[in-house]
């Protein structure tokens, strides 16, 4: 019998998930578990610290700043200031790809760390950081060097910003050196690191170069796309085919030049709302560039996003070209979808990934006839779940105050509204939404389960009770889930698959999910004590 959201009752899951917890813990966790209702979106607890002792999927603030946002930039040397243990994350681990030209540098394959020792913790590590910056410059002569603080640096008081200013003056030659106060403990999760990275990118890179290198009449930025498995390549090629130039991708396959000229684009498209919405807002405030939420995961979602861009620019010739591209690209998509759907239709999935992927990938599962039973984010905020309409009601807590709030004002000489107020209102009347995001729950099926910051225990209970056909999460969950006989697809780095963005990516996803979700070998996964005889005994009283 086919499984679907109508004949799987998830209403009892919440009580079963929290019944093992102590009373206070259960009360807190119950606020982070809600049943989706798109007609009456419930309030969910999000962006609060993980309860000590609970195994979480989350990463730290440093991981979000260095690993997610700055990591995919190929011509910035990223130096981790801290012990070498933290330095592991300064070596890229997410399969971000890049395409430097023959004469361009590519530092993504290197791991730069100050390797702080006990003596540096006691007496300070600023001198060691200066030596590291000098050595990096002498070896590679980069355009820019970024320095990232880890937990010990914040605890002992090393000032990476002061060191960056001093070394920028010492080295000269036009090099840009800047720091990030992204100590791992500074925020609730990696989300704080995204915010810190956004602030410093805007302060130190964005807007530094007014050169307009136009290859097409229409020019956009794609924000919140990190080129996992080559996604950004597909999106770039797609826009180029339509006759639209991507000025900057933030930050997959990115360069210093892209960041510095991003303010010259005419429209910002935001993919991962959580990681990059701050930059989108700052670009609009300072330079007059409007932004729209977009999604290039899923063929139908991709077509919708392309049509939104065409409607924004309003050129009949461009709109016609976009329709031609969509029609052409959909031919292999429909063929691959129908083939895969013969096997995948009626299956179920659970998604607990990132700050947008648990939302976006539901589009691809819907296209395959796969029902998403449960979904949630690792580092989402309430507006990622409920929509931006709730932002005014979100209270600023102590953790949020750990993040520097920078003031952005209209650039007196370069502010240039891309559309007048009247034009924007006319476009909104036609269905375009600017500065908006309805959140994940608005598009989830009624009765499905939404869980923020899923714990390891909760994950196991969900799998035991509902046996999804595919589970999507990250590397920390991968082998635990597969040992339970459920295939897991990593959507942080795609395992060895991808790209999954755009129309070509949708075809890749259909094939991969058909293969793993319909493979019978998973039903044979059993622990030794489930398939072998063993002797059981009890101690006898003497």
Neighbours of 369 (CB within 10 A): 17
Please write down the HEC assignment for all residues of 276-330.
HHHHHHHHHHHHCCCEEECCCECHHHHHHHHHHHHHHHCCHHHHHHHHHHHHHHH
Looking up tokens 């046996």 gives 467
Q: Return all residues near 476 (Cβ < 8 A) that are at least 6 apart.
A: 57
Phi, psi (rounded to 5 degrees) for 435: 55, 30
Contact by Cβ (8 Å): 288, 297:
no
Active site residue 242: no
Active-site annotation holds for 359: no
Q: Mapping DSSP to helix (H, G, I), strand (E, B) and coil, where does residue 244 land?
A: strand
Catalytic residue, from 60, 272, 280, 303: name it. 60
Q: What are phi and psi of 413, to 5 degrees?
A: -105, -25
Closest to 341 in 3D by CA, of 523, 507, 520: 507
Peptide bond into 295 cis (omega under 30): no
Distance from C-alpha of 357 to C-alpha of 375, rounded to nearest angstrom: 10
- In sequence order, the β-bridge partners of residue 81 are 149
Q: How many CB atoms lie within 10 A of CB 171?
A: 16
Q: Which two tokens stand for residue 399?
A: 């953790």
The question of whether 472 is a catalytic residue gets the answer: no
Assign 352 to helix, strand or coil.
strand
d(CA 304, CA 71): 30
Catalytic residue among 29, 94, 95, 388: 94
The catalytically annotated residue of 194, 195, 357, 381 is 194
Instruction: Please name the residues in contact with 151: beta carbons below 8 A apart, sequence gap of 6 or more.
Output: 60, 62, 82, 86, 183, 184, 185
Q: Name, in order, each residue with C-beta under 8 angstroms of 498's C-beta and a sequence gap of 6 or more.
A: 95, 228, 229, 230, 231, 505, 508
CA-CA-CA-CA torsion sign (455, 456, 459, 461): negative
CB-based contact 70:251 (threshold 8 Å): yes
- ∠ CA(174), CA(178), CA(184), 5° rounding? 160
Query: If phi over 0 gives left and psi between -120 and 50 gives alpha, with beta otherwise, what is residue 253?
Result: left
245 has which bridge partners?
A: 219
Q: Within a 10 A sphere around the Cβ of 111, how many other Cβ atoms?
A: 15
Give the active site residue among 46, 63, 375, 504: 63
81 is catalytic: no
Phi, then psi, of 431 in degrees rounded to 5? 110, -5
Q: For residue 376, report the phi and psi dihedrals to the nearest 5 degrees.
A: -175, 165
Contact (Cβ atoms closer than 8 angstroms) between residue 79 and residue 111: no
Query: Would you please indicate which residues are annotated as catalytic (active-site) residues?
Result: 60, 63, 94, 194
């Amino acid at each position: 019998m086919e499984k679907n959201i109508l004949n799987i009752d998830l209403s009892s899951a919440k009580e079963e998930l929290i019944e093992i917890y102590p009373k206070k813990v259960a009360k807190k966790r119950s606020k982070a578990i809600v049943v989706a209702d798109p007609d009456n979106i419930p309030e969910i607890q999000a962006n609060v610290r993980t309860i000590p002792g609970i195994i979480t999927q989350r990463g730290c603030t440093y991981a979000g700043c260095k690993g997610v946002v700055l990591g995919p930039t190929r011509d910035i040397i990223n130096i981790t200031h801290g012990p070498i243990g933290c330095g592991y994350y300064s070596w890229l681990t997410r399969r971000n790809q890049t395409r430097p030209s023959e004469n361009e540098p590519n530092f993504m394959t290197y791991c730069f760390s100050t390797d702080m020792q006990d003596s540096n913790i006691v007496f300070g590590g600023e001198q060691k950081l200066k030596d590291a910056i000098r050595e990096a410059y002498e070896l590679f002569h980069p355009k820019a060097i970024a320095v990232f603080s880890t937990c010990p640096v914040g605890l002992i008081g090393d000032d990476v910003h002061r060191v960056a200013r001093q070394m920028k003056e010492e080295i000269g030659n036009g090099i840009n050196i800047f720091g990030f106060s992204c100590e791992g403990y500074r925020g609730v999760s990696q989300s704080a690191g995204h915010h810190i990275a956004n602030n410093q990118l805007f302060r130190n890179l964005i807007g530094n170069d007014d050169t307009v290198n136009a290859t097409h009449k229409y020019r956009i930025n794609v924000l919140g796309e990190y080129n996992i498995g080559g996604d950004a390549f597909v999106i770039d090629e797609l826009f180029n085919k339509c006759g639209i130039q991507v000025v900057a991708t933030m930050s997959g396959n990115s360069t210093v030049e892209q960041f510095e000229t991003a303010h010259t684009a005419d429209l910002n498209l935001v993919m991962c709302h959580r990681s990059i919405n701050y930059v989108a807002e700052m670009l609009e405030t300072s330079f007059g560039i409007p932004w729209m939420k977009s999604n290039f995961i899923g063929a139908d979602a991709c077509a919708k996003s392309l049509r939104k861009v065409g409607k924004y620019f309003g050129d009949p010739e461009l709109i016609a070209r976009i329709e031609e591209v969509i029609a052409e690209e959909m031919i292999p998509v429909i063929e691959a979808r129908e083939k895969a759907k013969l096997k995948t239709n009626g299956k179920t999935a659970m998604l607990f990934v990132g700050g947008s992927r648990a939302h976006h990938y539901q589009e691809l599962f819907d296209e395959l006839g796969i029902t998403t039973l449960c979904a949630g984010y690792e580092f989402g905020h309430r507006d990622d779940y409920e929509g931006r309409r709730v932002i005014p009601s979100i209270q600023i807590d102590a953790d949020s105050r750990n993040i520097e709030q920078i003031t952005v004002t209209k650039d007196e000489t370069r502010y240039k509204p891309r559309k007048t107020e009247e034009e924007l209102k006319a476009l909104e009347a036609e269905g375009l939404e600017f500065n908006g995001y309805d959140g994940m729950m608005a598009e989830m099926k009624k009765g499905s389960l939404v869980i923020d910051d899923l714990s390891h225990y909760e994950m196991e209970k969900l799998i035991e009770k509902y046996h999804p056909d595919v589970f999507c999460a990250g590397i920390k969950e991968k082998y635990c889930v597969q040992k339970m006989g459920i295939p897991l697809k990593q959507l942080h780095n795609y395992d060895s698959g991808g790209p999954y963005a755009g129309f070509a990516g949708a075809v890749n996803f259909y094939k991969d999910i058909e293969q793993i979700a319909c493979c019978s070998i998973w039903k044979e996964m059993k622990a030794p004590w489930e398939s072998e005889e063993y002797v059981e005994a009890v101690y006898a009283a003497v």
